[in-house]
Amino acid sequence: MASVTSLGDSVQQHLASALSATLPEAAGADPLLRRSDRADFQANGILALAKKAKANPRELATQVVANVVTGEVIKEIEVSGPGFLNITLTDRAITENLAARYADTDRLGIPHTRTPGTTVIDYAQPNVAKEMHVGHLRSAVIGDAVVQLLEFTGETVVRRHHIGDWGTQFGMLIQYLDEHPHELDHKASEVSGEEAMSNLDRLYKAARKLFDADEEFKTRARRRVVDLQAGDPKTLSIWQKFVDESKIYFFSVFEKLDMEIRDEDIVGESGYNDMLAETCRLLEESGVAVRSEGALCVFFEDIKGPDGSPVPLIVQKSDGGYGYAATDLSAIRDRVFSLKANTLLYVVDARQSLHFKMVFETARRAGWLNEDVRAHQLAFGTVLGKDGKPFKTREGETVKLVDLLDEAVDRATTVVREKAEKVGLAEEEIVENGRYVGIGAVKYADLSTSAVRDYKFDLDQMVSLNGDTSVYLQYAYARIRSILRKSEGATPVAHPELELAPAERALGLHLDQVGETVLEVASAYEPHKLAAYLYQLASLLTTFYDQCPVLKADTPEQRENRLFLVDLTARTLHQGMALLGIRTPERL
């Protein structure tokens, strides 16, 4: 179906026509329309136009009002204060617009972006042979939500998981496995993610113990690094075993997070090895990078150390080795020239902001990034404990992501079980809903906070039925589904002829904002604004539920219209939560 023009856009068009008729030179001017607590909308743009035209703002506003067409959409418009316009819509316009959204079962009338392109998004970047911890949570959760939003609004999205699968740390592991070749053999045909991580952890500890105690082993391990970088087939074969074992673990964690990670999207550091030498050559030949004390460096006038000396981006070390910069710059070349990306998006910890600033500037100087191809770091803050400090275990160790997710599911299952008897949930449903609620709680706590901010990880608050939590939204959805099941044959039908109660109007006007909200959130990569929209929607539903009986409405038409309103609210909650990667159980 075609997208639905929002009520705000309709009012905007009416005001634009009136402005042009009143002041021809104001054609195309923004009336600065916004929602208001004084009316349905308020327009503040007249003040700036009056100043520019050297006119009295209130008199100009009065002239504009005289040229506004009222009736179908706008019920009344009045001048307020020094020249504001307060605009009230007709009840019919609200209901008809919502009915058009309701008829579009797939998209709720939400339009696609006007300028779709191709975005390569780099997110969810664990390290081979290492356990995922709470620090990996934000990149995965934020990245997944942005992927859903971009794809929904029509962008072509290429996912990339830049895993840490290369470097000197593998020499020790490869050499140990070469000397103990059956350590990663699977006695069973398949192993769980937990077993795979246990295998890797056991092997790492044994290799580290030998590396620290045996100088000859240490020497052999360091030679292995050279063999790995030289592409020795046997060494690469052993290295691949670590990658494969790690993927078993990675996929199990992402499955627990209710997140799809495809094998073809995992292109780690090793994926760009063949490009590193050429990247360095191109940078040096173009003069973007220069040799300094044997290293290939890029210098920046505005980036200096504490002593005032320039801090360079080192692309190639003096010993000929390549650092992260060479890999990241090669990845940019691949994503721009092979994948034909218009936008490169990196969901990476804010503490790496300086590195990416230097990498992006280097790529711009080289001509790989320009006005048509841009790169953006979606930087995120730190996960904190209740004490406001970086989240650690009591022993001071980084919290394992699996442990954290398991505890969230356990807590949520307890909450679901307490309500289960009232709803009549079977044990299987309790377990399934406990997982959806627990994982949803973790995701929502992250996504409802602006990415750049740190946030406190408080499971008690996350699984609370009160306040700005995913559980509150999930229960709002489940409550509506319960109402619809109890409707005794009555069906949701829009009745534009009915007068709307204040709570119905407030809910309806907010429902109509879903399209512009989703587009704004997707274009700015700001999932927290969608979370805020959904929380307000659930809050308005609560007010509506308290003030406007649905099943016991005064007339059959009013009951049908209210069923239509709550059903559209349920669909909007379901769609919005899905875009955040969160499930909405039918019964809770």
pLDDT single digits (tens) 142-168 = 999 999 999 999 999 999 999 999 988
Q: Specify the 3-state DSSP secondary structure of 87.
A: strand
- pTM for the full predicted model: 0.94
pLDDT at residue 187 tops 70: no
pLDDT at residue 411 tops 80: yes
Cα separation of 460 and 164, whole Å? Answer: 33
Weakest mean pLDDT among 402-416, 453-467, 543-557: 453-467
Which tens digit of pLDDT belongs to each residue from 476-535? 999 999 999 999 888 999 999 999 999 999 999 999 999 999 999 999 999 999 999 999
DSSP state of 1: -
- Tokens at 447, concatenated: 């996504």
Residues linked to residue 155 through DSSP beta bridges, in sequence order: none
Cα separation of 195 and 201, whole Å? Answer: 10
pLDDT score for 30: 86
DSSP state of 578: H
Q: Specify the 3-state DSSP secondary structure of 376.
A: strand
Cα separation of 366 and 527, whole Å? Answer: 33
Give residue 304's pLDDT band: very low, low, confident or very high (50, 70, 90).
Answer: confident
pLDDT score for 416: 94
Give the residue with greater pLDDT, 356 vs 323. Answer: 356
Average pLDDT of the residues in 220-231? 92
Residue in 583, 303, 321, 323 with CA at minimum distance from that of residue 470: 583
DSSP state of 161: B
pLDDT at residue 536 tops 80: yes
What single letter denotes the amino acid at residue 144?
D
Q: Is 502 exposed, middle or buried (0-12, 13-18, 19+ CB in 10 A)?
A: exposed
Identity of the highest mean pLDDT range in 13-22, 53-62, 81-90: 81-90
- Tokens at 148, concatenated: 């859903």
Residue in 268, 376, 278 with CA at minimum distance from that of residue 326: 278
Q: At what angle do helices 514-524 and 556-579 cross, to 10 degrees?
A: 10
pLDDT at residue 394 tops 80: no
Q: Specify the 3-state DSSP secondary structure of 322.
A: strand
Looking at every residue in the chain, the average pLDDT score rounds to 94
Cα separation of 267 and 291, whole Å? Answer: 30
pLDDT score for 404: 92
- Tokens at 131, concatenated: 């356990």
Q: Is 268 exposed, middle or buried (0-12, 13-18, 19+ CB in 10 A)?
A: buried
Average pLDDT of the residues in 164-182? 93
